[in-house]
Amino acid sequence: MGALGLEMFLNARKANKSAHDFQVTTPVAYPTGFSELDYLNGQKVEVYDRDDNLIMEYDSVGVVEGTMNTIIADAGLGKTTIAQQFATTIAARYDNSFVVHEDIEQASHLNRVYNISRLSASWMRTHYTMYQDTHAETVVDRFKDHALMKLNNRKVFEYDTGLKDMYGDKLIRMQPSFMLLDSLAMMRSEDLDMDADKDSTGKATNNMSGARNARFNSEIFKQMLPYAKKANIILYIINHISRKVDIGFVKSARDLVGLGENESLPGGRASVYLANNVLRLKNKCQLKPDKEYGINGYIIGATYYKSRTNASNVECELIFDKSNGYSKILTMLHFGLNNNLVKKSGNKYYVKGYEDTIFTKKTFMSTCEEHPILLNALYNLMHPILRGYLGRQAITADESEEERLDSYSDIMTMLAV
């Protein structure tokens, strides 16, 4: 008769009108537009029929649905900026997607998001909102309304992803939405009584306050994450790297593998242990307007210190323009230069196979505006290298012309936002 036990159990749960199960299946991932970073956090999905025959496979890359993602860095390296770009790039692909930005630091403004996202003011009005409350209880209350609104209006938000799980079933999901929490170091409970944080002499201690906040943060994240998964709310948690001073002979334990011995993360360890991904940004080189890429910014080393979908601690490099945010196009060029996909011709460069279209590092973006096929050509050269980052062996067969056109459409859509 075959194995009936699991099938009978699942049917019983379906018949139980009071059941509210959320059965785990193949996760859906959303590309952020930064291709190398997306593939470093990606996996290959293989789809089988009931006879265990492989019927298709595809690359699932980017940020995973309903997950908590922590971004850490020193000050001034664009932690908030890249979170805003990730969220707006994905949200712009869906009619009912939106971003709730909890600016606890009270340091952001909508004009900055408008400038770096390159989206319209009308899109911003209907898809992006920002709050500057300082109390965690208010943040949690808004998150609860966010999740319940989606769960109570499934027909509005559900869509067919066009993907299948490993068993060949359609993946129907809610459109993704986002919560940006900036930053964890500044989040406080409105009930935190500073008078309670005193030692035996009556002197207040920062350690006591820090410990209470850490416990508080841990509890609220534990409550939020199940709802984030069910409602497909992607959380981006911004956190600063602090420097601690060890005065004893025994070094204190590191908060996260990859951090230096004197580096720590404020707000407790929940943002690390409960996160699907922890992304570290590190300044590698300063860029000046009169040199290199013609911008005032940095080459940023980006490393997933933690990833639940791929190997961790593999660095890639992003191009950060202080005025305009992280550049997807210049980051592609930088990857091409580092991987010998962009060749030098005298004082200029060309993409392999397109020797007649030459440019400098400063003029690459304007050249792409004149010759948009150049980006597709570069992406097609990048693709085999990127697929090598995935956990399963990549397909070696050449892509069809239809697949190449789909690839071009996808990359141009991501770059447009």
Q: Which position has the higher pLDDT, 136 or 71?
A: 71
Q: Which band of pLDDT confidence, cut at 50, 70 and 90, is reported for residue 56?
A: very high
CA distance 165 to 377: 30
Say what the pLDDT of residue 208 is. Answer: 47
Radius of gyration of the chain (CA): 23
Which distant-in-sequence residues (6+ apart) come within 8 Å of 328 by Cβ?
33, 34, 414, 415
- Are the C-beta atoms of residues 205 and 198 closer than 8 Å to each other? yes
The share of the chain scoring above pLDDT 70, in percent, equals: 83
Q: Which band of pLDDT confidence, cut at 50, 70 and 90, is reported for residue 260?
A: confident
47: three-class secondary structure by DSSP = strand
Report all structural domains of the chain as residue ranges with CATH numbers, in order of start: 24-327 (3.40.50.300)
- Range list of β-strands (E), 132-276: 158-164, 170-174, 177-182, 233-240, 242-243, 263-264
Say what the pLDDT of residue 28 is. Answer: 97
Per-residue 3-state assignment (H helix, E strand, C coil) for 380-414? HHHHHHHHCCCCCCCCCCCCCHHHHHHHHHHHHHH
pTM score, whole prediction: 0.86
CA distance 61 to 15: 35
Say what the pLDDT of residue 24 is. Answer: 79
- Are the C-beta atoms of residues 363 and 399 closer than 8 Å to each other? no
CA distance 253 to 384: 39
Rounded to whole angstroms, the maximal C-alpha distance in the chain is 77
Least confident of 113-117, 211-215, 316-320, 340-344: 211-215
Neighbours of 86 (CB within 10 A): 28
Mean pLDDT for the chain? Answer: 86
Q: Which position has the higher pLDDT, 410 or 59?
A: 59
Residue 11 has pLDDT above 90, yes or no: no
Say what the pLDDT of residue 237 is. Answer: 95
Residue 136 has pLDDT above 60, yes or no: yes
Residue holding tokens 């309670």?
196
Per-residue 3-state assignment (H helix, E strand, C coil) for 93-141? CCCCCCEEEEECCCCCCHHHHHHHHCCCHHHHHHHEEEECCCEHHHHHH
Say what the pLDDT of residue 219 is. Answer: 83
Say what the pLDDT of residue 253 is. Answer: 56
Say what the pLDDT of residue 15 is. Answer: 86
Q: Which position has the higher pLDDT, 120 or 18?
A: 120
Say what the pLDDT of residue 395 is. Answer: 40
| Average pLDDT estimate for 28-35 | 97
